[in-house]
Amino acid sequence: MAVAEVTNVDLVRNEAKELKDAVAVDVTDGAKVDYTNRSDGRILLLLTNSNASSAKKATIVQGNSLQGVEDLEISIPANKTYAIVVESGKFMNVSGDNKGYVITKGESADIKVQAIELP
């Protein structure tokens, strides 16, 4: 399975926008979020666990720059959505096939991700 791509919602002040559908992440390949427009860290990630009975882990994979030293694991309770803004220097890839992207993986396909570019 290839890495799924999340479609970012680009917010503008004082303008409501519809969220794009959440993308299920894969344990092996994950999903990628484009950080090229907002590499200053102004992207809000929404991580949802759609499992009805148990917590699941989402993992934001370390980037391949000098600051990318470890993955970030987040335990999300059943049927909950967590929001996080991550430091692009630690998690964005600066070279290779996923240059400009942050990769998120899930413990299972119950983990879904959405991305919002903040103004």
Residue 91 clears pLDDT 70, i.e. is over it = yes
pTM of the model: 0.93
Phi/psi at 16 (5° precision) = -80, 140
At 113 the pLDDT is 98
Mean pLDDT score of the chain, rounded to an integer? Answer: 94
Task: Render pLDDT for 19-48 as a digit per residue (tens, 0 to 9).
Answer: 999 999 988 999 999 999 876 779 999 999
The CATH number of 4-117 is which of 3.40.1350, 3.30.1300, 2.60.120, 1.10.8? 2.60.120
Q: Tell me what the mean pLDDT of segment 43-67 comes to.
A: 96
Judge whether residue 5 has pLDDT over 70. yes
Is the pLDDT at 2 greater than 90, yes or no?
no
Enumerate the domain spans of the chain: 4-117
Close Cβ partners of 29 (under 8 Å, ≥ 6 residues apart)? 1, 2, 3, 4, 105
